[in-house]
């Protein structure tokens, strides 16, 4: 019986450690995280033996066997994972609530069916527990992380709800009296509490999803405003540069007149002023007839070159596209900027960005490819504000989009109906 208890306890510790390592983004590498949680398992194992085989009081057993374990698990989780403190507290508290409920239900089944072999019950418990946590880590946590990273407010209220539920579950199932059978008088209270939690948590996660959608929309709008303002500023600069080149003809005529009359001093002074005034003039590159696309490509091409990135651009788009210039800026600027940011992180010298923009009778096709990390695994959980904005514009024009990474190359493709 003692061996079965020890095995169950070790499985529980392993499940806690797995959740702590794989449920959130780690501050450190996985090897160090495994070491930290391994040390915690050893310390917790020592506390378990002390509370179960040395202490006699139920209160002290509860404190050393449960409370200290819970505090230690929380401290390690909060110190080894990234993210907002409130969000991390909500995550670990939610896990604790459902784990306590699960273990209480198992103990009630175990205490009710005393004629069933304890080894079989423990084996079933281990299999169900490991399977449940594995499914949570694989399917629930990625979705939760992808929507929660955009939420800036509202976590504290959710934490208070979690704390209330956790205390209620502990008081109704573990302390001061542990539920050991479905025949216990307080089992009705516990079942009612569980049903209340099952009703409330879908509302909580729906609320998280709604907050996330609002936050994503706000972030997309703010980034798009910044992009449009930046491109407008750059476009004004390019127009000013174009005007300056146009005015150069008049400057040439003035200098020619000074040369003809032999006024070398005036010629030198005029040239000095002219050189000083043209120091900030930048020469744009003509990529295509569409002024908006040409401006965006010119601006971000300059940035890419400053980051030692090789650029290949092939653009063919008419000046009178039936697509809003603002929408063109949002798509092309976001894709180009993401490509620059990703390629800049590559350490080797083979940093490339290949951009292709084609217009046909019915569609505008935009493709941006860039070098990336060799083992980059890209899915919807990694969609940031920029890509979310691109998707929104593509859907607006009933277009299509595709983002993929393979063998050290990232590809973004967008098709808009025109």
The average confidence (pLDDT) of the chain is: 80
| 3's tokens | 């061996």
What percent of the chain has pLDDT above 90?
15
**What is the domain partition of the chain in residue ranges?**
2-215, 222-277, 291-417
pLDDT at residue 282, as a whole number? 47
| DSSP reduced 3-state for 298 | helix
pLDDT at residue 256, as a whole number? 64
pLDDT at residue 121, as a whole number? 80
Residue predicted with more confidence, 93 or 150: 93
The answer to which of 54-68, 73-87, 242-256 has the lowest mean pLDDT is 242-256
pTM of the model as a whole: 0.58
Provide the terminal-to-terminal Cα distance of the chain, rounded to the nearest Å.
73
Q: SS3 string of 186-253? A: CHHHHHHHHHHHHHHHHHHHHHHHHHHHHHHHHHHHHHHHHHHHHHHHHHHHHHHHHHHHHHHHHHHH
Inform me whether the pLDDT recorded for 130 exceeds 80.
Answer: yes
Inform me whether the pLDDT recorded for 367 exceeds 90.
Answer: yes
Element (H, E) at 32: helix 30-53
Inform me whether the pLDDT recorded for 285 exceeds 60.
Answer: no
How is 115-160 classified by DSSP, letter by letter?
TS-HHHHHHHHHHHHHHHHHHIIIIIHHHHHHHHTT--S-HHHHHH
Arch. (CATH architecture) of 291-417: 2-Layer Sandwich (3.30)
Mean pLDDT to the nearest integer, 392-410 = 87
Give the pLDDT band (50/70/90) at residue 260: confident
pLDDT at residue 277, as a whole number? 57
The answer to whether the beta carbons of residues 24 and 88 sit under 8 Å apart is yes
Q: What is the pLDDT of residues 178-233, one digit of tens each?
A: 787 878 878 888 888 889 888 888 887 777 777 766 766 666 666 666 566 666 66
Q: Which long-range contacts (CB under 8 A, 24 or more apart) does 109-115 make?
A: 109/182, 110/180, 111/180, 111/181, 112/181, 112/182, 112/183
Cis peptide before 213 (omega within 30 of 0): no
Report in angstroms the alpha-carbon separations of 20 from 38, 56, 91, 127, 276.
11, 31, 10, 19, 61
- CA distance linking residue 383 with residue 388, whole number of Å: 6
| DSSP reduced 3-state for 360 | coil
Task: Determine how many CB atoms are found less than 10 A away from the CB of residue 186.
Answer: 12
pLDDT at residue 280, as a whole number? 47
Report in angstroms the alpha-carbon separations of 367 from 128, 153, 297, 379, 408.
46, 36, 13, 18, 17
Q: What is the pLDDT of residues 267-282, one digit of tens each?
A: 677 666 665 555 444 4
Give the pLDDT band (50/70/90) at residue 250: low
Q: What is the pLDDT of residues 18-70, one digit of tens each?
A: 999 999 888 888 889 999 999 988 888 888 777 777 776 777 777 777 778 88
Residue predicted with more confidence, 55 or 291: 291
Inform me whether the pLDDT recorded for 252 exceeds 80.
Answer: no
* Residues in a beta bridge with 403: 412
Task: Give the contacts of 126 (CB within 8 A, at least 6 positions apart).
Answer: 7, 8, 11
DSSP character at residue 83: S
């Amino acid at each position: 019986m003692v061996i079965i208890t020890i095995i169950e306890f070790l499985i529980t510790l392993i499940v806690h450690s797995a959740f702590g390592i794989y449920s959130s983004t780690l501050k450190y590498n996985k090897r160090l995280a495994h070491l930290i949680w391994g040390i915690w398992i050893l310390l917790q194992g020592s506390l378990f033996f002390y509370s179960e085989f040395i202490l006699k009081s139920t209160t002290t057993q509860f404190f050393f066997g449960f409370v200290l374990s819970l505090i230690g698990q929380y401290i390690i989780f909060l110190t080894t994972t990234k993210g907002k403190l409130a969000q991390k507290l909500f995550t670990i508290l939610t896990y604790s609530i459902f784990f306590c409920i699960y273990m209480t239900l198992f103990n009630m089944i175990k205490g009710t069916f005393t004629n069933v072999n304890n080894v079989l019950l423990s084996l079933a418990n281990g299999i169900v527990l490991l399977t449940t946590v594995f499914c949570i880590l694989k399917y629930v946590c990625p979705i939760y992380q992808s929507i929660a990273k955009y939420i800036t407010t509202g976590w504290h209220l959710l934490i208070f709800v979690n704390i209330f539920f956790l205390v209620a579950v502990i008081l109704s199932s573990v302390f001061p009296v542990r539920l050991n059978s479905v025949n216990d008088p307080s089992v009705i209270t516990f079942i009612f509490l569980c049903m209340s939690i099952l009703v409330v948590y879908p509302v909580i996660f729906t609320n998280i999803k709604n907050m996330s959608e609002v936050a994503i929309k706000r972030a997309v709008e703010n980034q798009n405003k910044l992009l449009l303002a930046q491109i407008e500023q750059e476009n004004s600069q390019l127009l000013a540069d174009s005007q300056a080149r146009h005015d150069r003809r008049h400057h040439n005529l003035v200098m020619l007149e000074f040369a003809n009359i032999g006024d070398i001093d005036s010629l030198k002074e005029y040239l000095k002023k002219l050189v000083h005034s043209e120091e900030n003039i930048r020469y744009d590159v003509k990529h295509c007839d569409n002024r908006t696309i040409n401006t965006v490509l010119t601006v971000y091409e300059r940035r890419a070159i400053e980051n030692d990135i090789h650029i290949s651009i092939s653009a063919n788009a008419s000046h009178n596209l039936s697509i809003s210039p603002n929408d063109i800026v949002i798509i092309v600027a976001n894709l180009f900027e993401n490509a620059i940011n990703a390629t800049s992180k590559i350490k080797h010298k083979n940093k490339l960005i290949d951009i292709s923009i084609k217009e046909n009778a019915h569609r505008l096709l935009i493709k941006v490819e860039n070098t990336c990390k060799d083992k980059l695994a890209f899915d919807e959980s990694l969609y940031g504000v920029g890509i979310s904005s691109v998707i929104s514009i593509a859907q607006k024009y009933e277009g299509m989009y595709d983002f993929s990474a393979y063998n050290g190359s990232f590809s973004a493709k967008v098709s808009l109906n025109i």
